[in-house]
Amino acid sequence: MAQTELAQAAGVLSLLAAFLVFAVMAVQYNSLVDPFAIMLAVPLALAGGIFGLWVSGQSLSAVAAVGAILLVGIAVNNAIVLVELANQIRDQEGDDRFTAMVKAAPQRLRPILMTTATTVLGSFPMALGLGEGGEFLQPLGIVVFAGLSVATLLTLFVVPCFYLLLYDLPKLGARIGEVFQRA
C-alpha cells in the first residue's frame, strides 16, 4: 500500500472513529448537543498538538499519530467530566444550564488539572527526546505535551461556552427570524 493510500485510509478511519464515539455519546446522553460540545475538545487538542510539532520542527509521523490518539482520549475525557457534572447538577438541583455549569466548573477544575499535569509532566522527558530511543518517541511526547497543554486551557473556557451556546441556538434563531419578519 502506498504512503498516500495509507494516509487516506487513516483519515477515513479517524472520521469513522469520531462518528462512532459521537454516536455512542449521543445514545448515552440522549441528546446531540452534549456530544457535540464534548467533541469540540478534539479539534482544540489536535490544534495544540500540531502547533507543538510545528514549533519543534518535527513532522507528522505514525508515532505522532499515536500521540494524537492518546491526546484526543484525554481531552475528550476532560470535557466529559465537565459536561456530565453540569448535567447532573441540572437534573438534581433543577438549575438552569448556566448555573449548573458555573457550579460544575470549579468542582471539576482540580481533577481536570491533575489529569493534565500528570500526563503533561509524564510526557515532558519524551518530548525532550531524553533516554535511549528518545528521538523515536519525541513526536509522541511533543504532541501530547503541547496538545494537552493547549486543549486543557481551551477546554476549560470554550467547551462550557459552546455547551451553553448550543442550547441557546434555537432561541437565537427564533429572535433573528422575528427581526427579519418585522423588516
Instruction: Please report how many Cα atoms fall inside a 13 Å half-sphere around the Cα of residue 30, on the Cβ side.
Output: 1
Q: pLDDT (tens digit, 0 to 9) for every residue of the chain, 183 residues total? A: 566 766 667 667 777 878 888 888 888 888 888 888 888 888 888 898 889 889 988 888 888 888 888 888 898 889 999 999 999 999 999 888 889 999 999 999 999 999 999 999 988 888 888 878 778 888 888 899 999 999 898 888 888 988 888 887 777 666 666 666 776
Residue 130 burial (CB count, 10 A): 13
Range of the domain at 68: 34-182
The count of domains in the chain is 1
Per residue in 126-162, pLDDT (tens digit) is: 888 887 877 888 888 889 999 999 989 888 888 898 8
The C-alpha atoms of residue 98 and residue 113 are separated, in whole angstroms, by 22
Evaluate whether residue 120 is within a structural domain: yes
What does 44-107 look like in DSSP terms, one character per residue?
Answer: HHHHHHHHHHHHHTPPP-HHHHHHHHHHHHHHHHHHHHHHHHHHHHHHHH---HHHHHHHHHHH
Q: Is 59 exposed, middle or buried (0-12, 13-18, 19+ CB in 10 A)?
A: exposed
Q: Give the Cα-Cα-Cα angle 82, 25, 114 (nearest 5 degrees).
A: 30
pLDDT of residue 174: 66
Evaluate whether residue 161 is within a structural domain: yes
pLDDT of residue 118: 93
Helix 62-93 to helix 134-182 angle (10° resolution) is 50
Evaluate whether residue 124 is within a structural domain: yes
Quote the pTM value: 0.81
Q: What is the CATH number of the domain that holds 155?
A: 1.20.1640.10
pLDDT of residue 1: 55
Evaluate whether residue 71 is within a structural domain: yes
